[in-house]
Amino acid sequence: MTFDDVKAIALRLPGVEASIRYDGSEVLKAGGSFMAGIATDESAEADTLVVRCEPDDRDLMLEDAPDTYYLTDFYAKYPLVLVRLSEVSEDALRDLLSVSRKMALDKARR
């Protein structure tokens, strides 16, 4: 799985757009709010996707699939989860992006 694969799945969701961050990295947004992107902090492994995620859901994901999902101290303070693109299935990614989209839209409405 690559970020191009992630982008192709995400752009099929209503209201999702690709954008470029201030640091030049590509991200996905919904309603103008961050939804997903490649993790850019040095604490993250290479080819890691960062997506919005409710903290309670994140705890379950980290427990159930630690080979796929993880967290670093840098990202722990945000409602995000780190996803190893080499390990995530397309179905799981589709679900993650759908939840992340909803969270981004909720944030944009506030």
Q: Using pLDDT thresholds of 50, 70 and 90, give the confidence band for residue 23.
A: confident
Q: Give tens-digit pLDDT for 31-41.
A: 999 999 999 99
The enclosing H or E element of 58 equals helix 55-64
Cα–Cα distance, 84 to 88 (Å, whole number): 6
Give which of 24, 23, 63, 18 is closest to 36, Cα–Cα: 18
Q: What is the mean pLDDT of residues 30-55?
A: 96
Q: Name the amino acid, one letter, at 2.
A: T
Q: Using pLDDT thresholds of 50, 70 and 90, give the confidence band for residue 14.
A: very high
The pTM (predicted TM-score) of the whole model is 0.93
CB 49 within 8 A of CB 83: yes
Q: Give tens-digit pLDDT for 60-88.
A: 999 999 999 999 999 999 999 999 999 99
